[in-house]
Structure 1
Amino acid sequence: MTIFIFQRFFEQDELNIFDFSFLVGLFFIGLIFGKCIYLIYLLTYFTIGEVESLFLLKIRCIFIILTTTPLISLGNMIIMNGKENGEESDDKLNFIIILLFIIITIYLVIITPSYIILNIIIAIIHISSLSWICLTFIYAYRKKRLFGINFLIIAIILLLDLILYIFSIATSPIRRETIGFSPIYIIFAELIDLIIIIIIFFGYIKKPSYISEN
């Protein structure tokens, strides 16, 4: 999927780091590295110390931040004055906002001293980021922004992901007391993530109905 997206990006006459294909491609690259770090964390869960385990979780959190950043950037472009009916967006302002977001959030993750605080920080970042992305993508679909992406499909599946994430946080104490560190639960959760990723890719390649109507 990532290769297909970047191939589409490099086939364009003009290349721009704020192009939607490039941003979506970065999103999928972030997912790949994030999943690899999470796999290492799971495989070493019972064999490494608390300090090393916290370090791996911090690395994973950093990749979560870097993964959501491209879609946040795309959401910024939607809200800004540009890129409607072919106009140029304010790339410089978008870059500054994204850079500040990355610096502040990664700094907070790095200085976090414990699991509890780290989980709180990443929950705030995750929920606020997904909320922003969903709202801007729904706005883009309603305004018929011509990015060539089916924003409605992506917004709906990310909204579902947000609901599942909040549900997972709410039921976390119950899971710890009942099933604990369950491989079956982890496999089930990863399968759901895989389905979500596939649907996001489908939303990328399927043009919205208003484009075909035009």
Structure 2
Amino acid sequence: MMQWFRGRGAPLVLWQCSFWNVEKTLSNKFQQNKHFPFQVQQPNVFVMEYYKESLWKGLLVFLVFLALTIAYFYTASEQRTQDLSAGLFFGMLMGVWLILSSMNKRRLIINHVKGVYQFYIKGRLWHESPLHQIYVRLMPQSDAHGKLFFSLIINGYHLEMLTLADLSNKYQEMDVMGRRLARNLNLNYFDYKDISTRHVIRHKPTAPLDPQDPRYRSPEEGQWEENTIV
């Protein structure tokens, strides 16, 4: 059963259950499927279906607070307090909210044939944008001593951030895998620094040139030339 949920192309493929050697775990997944976490639907079209991680987290929160509530109400009545009772019920409600907000299956399609990505929730198209608005990136996080840890994510405009590997201090390994994935999916790749020579830009937005620009052509002369915005 769990093999179906976490196997190749399974809807729980992004659920993080590895807390050590996350970069090695991700590397093994790339060896099994170089487009992980996507599947190739047809040439230059990649598809991923998934459930949010908050689904199992909400279930865990609900079960923990449910157990605490049952144990609490089995204690002597004089030991109960209104504030603690409200806190336990609030914890269960939070778990239920996480479950309900995450129970619908998501689908993300990267379509290089049409030059767009499409994000579906419960079978309905939620958002569609050009490919320059989706990217692979390293996200930094520092501990109390200033040591950096890195997560490898896929994110974009009107997308939910998808974490492929979480909190590794091995920058080089994570960078190599991020660049490899971005190359295999033909997406932009961004380093953890906002300004970096390690960014890899494959898709750029375009906009009409300003009429004052000498490269501008009026409608009578033909279509506007496109200006690449970096």
State if a TM-score over 0.5 links the two structures: no
Q: Which has the higher contact order (CA 8 A, sep 6+)?
A: 1
Larger Rg over CA atoms: 2
* Structure with greater strand share of residues: 2
TM-score range for the pair, normalised by the shorter chain length: under 0.3
**TM-score, L = length of structure 2:** 0.24
* Structure with greater helix share of residues: 1
